Amino acid sequence: MKMRGFHQKILLMVMVVVAGVRGEEGGGFVTWANKYYVTWGHQPLVLNETSELQLTLDHTSGSRFESYSIYGSGSFNMRIKAPQTKSTGVITSFYIKSKSSRPDEFSFQILGSNGPPYLLNTNMFLYGEGDKDQRFRLWFDPTKDYHSYKFLWNPHQLVFYVDDTPIRVYRKNPGIYYPSVQTMFIMGSVQNRSKIDPKQTPYIAKFQASKLEGCVTTFLGIEKCTGPTFWWNRKENWQLSSREQKLYTNARKVYLDYDYCSDRKRYPKVPQECKSYS
């Protein structure tokens, strides 16, 4: 426990430094409800100033945006339409990430392919450690319509939802790291993770910030975001409802394609935090 306190102090120091650097950045920003700016690649096209953004990937670059706001808890629902049908090598991501040398991160990654079925990867970084993939076969075509990809993040549980179906749940567990010590930023991107077909470019991903409800705070101010004044922190959101539990059990049974927790080749010993998935 002593050790943990020491690490947290270091972490806070590092976070302050990162925050300082960020304050000096300038230029290249887009306005999307004055809340987001581009951090890499093509300038996004704002389809609707209040809610809709289009990101482009071509042979020169992809595109990534980030929120100005810093969050300490929340319910973040992004509606996404992934690029066109033939999209091998394209990856469309929506994620929540802290800025520190040991970041926490939760991500949805829609993996392009040559046609349906499409895979949705989810990943987490916990205190800087990643490679915690859980992958699902999507039960719809994510390139045809908008679908919801949502994180519910409070001090008790982190839930990944796809169209209101919980597919991944990480719960606070005594003695196991839980990501509610670092503040986070909202990010989205489209990029290539392998060779893409030049005949298919440009690839266009569309993001609708449909219901991003979060506790906006300062870089080191996560404490003010933990209380029940925010609906997503209230007791009924400390665990899945019985209806959600059924959807969750079914989704895991029918659509789960890969889970690092059961990959004994990659992890001969079950990673400690796997206990925290309910």
Ligand X SMILES: *[C@@H]1O[C@H](CO)[C@@H](O)[C@H](O)[C@H]1NC(C)=O
Count the helix, strand and coil residues of the chain and give each as a percent rounded to the nearest 5: 20, 40, 40
Contacting residues toward ligand X, per CB under 6 A:
48, 50-51, 59, 192-196
CB of 252 to ligand X, least distance (A): 30
> Would you say 62 or 214 has its CB closer to ligand X?
62
> Would you say 112 or 166 has its CB closer to ligand X?
112
CB of 33 to ligand X, least distance (A): 10
Question: What φ, ψ does residue 239 adopt, rounded to 5°?
Answer: -155, 170
Q: How large is the C-alpha radius of gyration of the chain?
A: 19
CB of 196 to ligand X, least distance (A): 4
Nearest to 106 by CA among 195, 24, 35, 178: 178
Strand partners, 191: 91
Residue 115 in tokens: 């046609």
Q: Is 105 tagged catalytic?
A: yes
List the catalytic residue out of 24, 25, 105, 273.
105
Q: Is 33 exposed, middle or buried (0-12, 13-18, 19+ CB in 10 A)?
A: middle
* Strands 134-137 vs 147-153: parallel, antiparallel or unpaired: unpaired
Sequence-distant (≥ 6) Cβ neighbours of residue 27 within 8 angstroms: none
CB of 204 to ligand X, least distance (A): 15
Strand partners, 97: 105, 185
> Would you say 33 or 261 has its CB closer to ligand X?
33
> Would you say 42 or 102 has its CB closer to ligand X?
42
- Catalogue the active-site residues: 105
